[in-house]
Structure formats: structure tokens, C-alpha cells
Homo-oligomer: A and B are copies of this chain.
């Protein structure tokens, strides 16, 4: 997965500058931030950006890798602290909050749980679906979650809940409330 040969020193430096600039720009302007502006912030030519990150999504994914990783690890931590049903709900809450707070993160999850033709199994996508898989299966085994929902569906619905609460002004307060409606529905028998 990692490149065979290490990067040349200047390439590595540009790569990291681009990543830092991207994190800043995405935070300021959302996932639509100007790529040209990101290259300028990083002090590199626009061609260099394309060399390292051939698509916007590749850059977005690289910029948010650590956040995704942290969310996945939270799943495991929570699973050790709470019984399965509560663990799932708690993790979904943290996930949904993250999706509304960190601009661009929601669209990243979106493309990770899409199954259109492309269906590029992104690194961050498989990390999150893996985490969801464990929590969902455990809750189903315990009987606190209906058995006919797939982990990826739970992620899609959480994405939807985050979208819905973004439409309200105080997105932070509504997300818990909207998510509880979803989890109430998920608990019910099919």
C-alpha cells in the first residue's frame, strides 16, 4: 500500500505542505475549497498538487485520515465501556456530531457508503464500515437492534440524520434529537 521507494526530500516536503494547506482550506471553505488556492497556500505549483493528489477526493481523504482514524478507534473504546446497544447509539452520536462539525467530513463518508458504479473502496471508508460492522453485529446479537439492517445502512442513515440537522440553525443541538428518532426506529422489530 505504501509506495515502494521513499519520496524525494522536496516531494515529501511539498506533500506535507499541501496536506496542511488543504486541512486549513477545507475547514474554511468546506469541501469545495479552491484547489488553486490550496496550491498557492502551500507555495507550490498547481501541477504539483495534481501529481500528489490526482482527484479532489484523494486530497480530502488524505486531509481527514486522522479524524477518520480517531472515530474508528472511538468505536472500539466505547464498545469496551458500554453494553452493545448503548455503545452503538453513543458511537453514532459522536459520528453524527463529527459529520456536522467538521466541514467536508460528511461528503467523505457519503462517498464511502455509496455503491454506484465507481464504488472505490476508500481507505477511510473501510475503516468506518469495519467499526460499524462490529458495533451493529454485537447489538443485533444482543437483540437490541433489529436484525434486518446492514452496518452500511446504519452509516447511510446517520449521514442522512447529519444532513437533516444541518438544515436546522443550531445543528449541534438537533443532531442528538434527530438521531434518537432514528435509533428508536432501529430498535423496533421489523
Interface residues of A (CB under 8 A from B): 110, 113-116, 149, 153, 156-157, 159-165, 167-169, 174, 178, 180-186, 188
Which residues from chain B contact A188 at a C-beta distance below 8 Å?
A: 184-185, 188
B168 and A164: CB pair below 8 A? Answer: no
Instruction: State how many angstroms separate the Cβ of A133 from the closest Cβ of chain B.
Output: 17
Which residues from chain B contact A157 at a C-beta distance below 8 Å?
A: 160-161, 164, 178, 181
Stoichiometry, as copies per complex, reads: 2
Which residues from chain B contact A182 at a C-beta distance below 8 Å?
A: 181-182, 185
Instruction: State how many angstroms separate the Cβ of A132 from the closest Cβ of chain B.
Output: 14
Instruction: State how many angstroms separate the Cβ of A100 from the closest Cβ of chain B.
Output: 12
11 A-B pairs within 8 Å (CB atoms) are namely A114-B168, A115-B169, A149-B181, A157-B161, A157-B178, A157-B181, A160-B163, A163-B164, A181-B186, A184-B184, A184-B188
A114 and B167: CB pair below 8 A? Answer: yes
Instruction: State how many angstroms separate the Cβ of A66 from the closest Cβ of chain B.
Output: 24
Which residues from chain B contact A181 at a C-beta distance below 8 Å?
A: 149, 157, 182, 185-186
A159 and B164: CB pair below 8 A? Answer: yes
A113 and B167: CB pair below 8 A? Answer: yes
Instruction: State how many angstroms separate the Cβ of A179 from the closest Cβ of chain B.
Output: 10
Which residues from chain B contact A184 at a C-beta distance below 8 Å?
A: 184-185, 188
Which residues from chain B contact A180 at a C-beta distance below 8 Å?
A: 185
Which residues from chain B contact A115 at a C-beta distance below 8 Å?
A: 167-169
A156 and B160: CB pair below 8 A? Answer: no
Least CB separation from A181: chain B residue: B185
